[in-house]
Amino acid sequence: MTSTVYLKISAHSGDSALVDTIPLQVTGVSVSVDKQIPAFPIPLSGLGTGESLTAALDLGMSTKRISLTGFINETVIQRSHTPETGTPTSLTFTPQEVAQLIASGVDSTGLASYQAINELVVLMPSKVNESYVQVAERNIPLTFRARGDSGELDNTDVGGAQAFPTSSTSAGLKGFISQFGYELSSEAVDISFNMDFVVALILP
């Protein structure tokens, strides 16, 4: 069984949702996009018409943030650095271990490929494909990309459009976890958590 929300570490390669990932039991996903447009009032613009004007310059800048809440349960995790007869070993982690693993990843740098978390996949139902054709419902990753090739459909006037996701194995959102919090309780069998993920191009 594959989770509908999971994290990928930097070492993840291919399209497997089981290897080099951390599945999450999410109860709430909050998406926010903050548009950043420099704006300034035009001096003396109200003299002629009686209405002052403000000029704004759209430079295509925005901040995209995904906030998650949910629970961490006992989880089976596979790492490609622990092969057994050519196949990654499946290991069962306690909720406390999974929470520690995520916290360690947030605390690491992007150079630690088996620690750093750089991709979030939130699968959502979709019935319209990348070419605006009605299809049978399937899951695709949450995305901020538009349908159509460069210069076509929603990407008209866009010269370097990026591919819209076509299946559950398409790439998710690249970025970093800006905040991760969890609470340990002696009576709970699972661990509640909250997380903020910022969509970003990480350098180097």
Q: Does residue 142 belong to any structural domain of this protein?
A: no
Q: Does residue 92 belong to any structural domain of this protein?
A: yes
pTM: 0.89
pLDDT at 122: 97
CB 99 within 8 Å of CB 182: yes
Report residue 151 CA to chain centroid gap: 26
Residue 107 is encoded by which pair of tokens? 């605390």
Q: Does residue 86 belong to any structural domain of this protein?
A: yes
Residue 38 preceded by cis peptide, ω within 30: no
Structurally, how many domains does the chain consist of? 1
Q: Does residue 48 belong to any structural domain of this protein?
A: no
Return d(Cα 78, Cα 92) in angstroms, integer.
9
Q: Does residue 82 belong to any structural domain of this protein?
A: yes
Instruction: Point out which residues pair with 200 in neighbouring strands.
Output: none
Amino acid found at 16: S
Q: Give the residue carrying structure tokens 């951390």.
A: 22
- Tell me which residues of the chain have a pLDDT lower than 70: 1-3, 204
Q: Does residue 138 belong to any structural domain of this protein?
A: no
Q: Does residue 160 belong to any structural domain of this protein?
A: no
Q: Does residue 189 belong to any structural domain of this protein?
A: yes
Amino acid found at 168: S
Domain containing 105: what range? 5-36+58-124+170-199
**What residue spans of the chain are helical by DSSP H?**
46-49, 95-107
Predicted confidence (pLDDT) per residue in 32-70, tens digit: 999 999 998 988 888 878 889 999 999 989 999 999 999
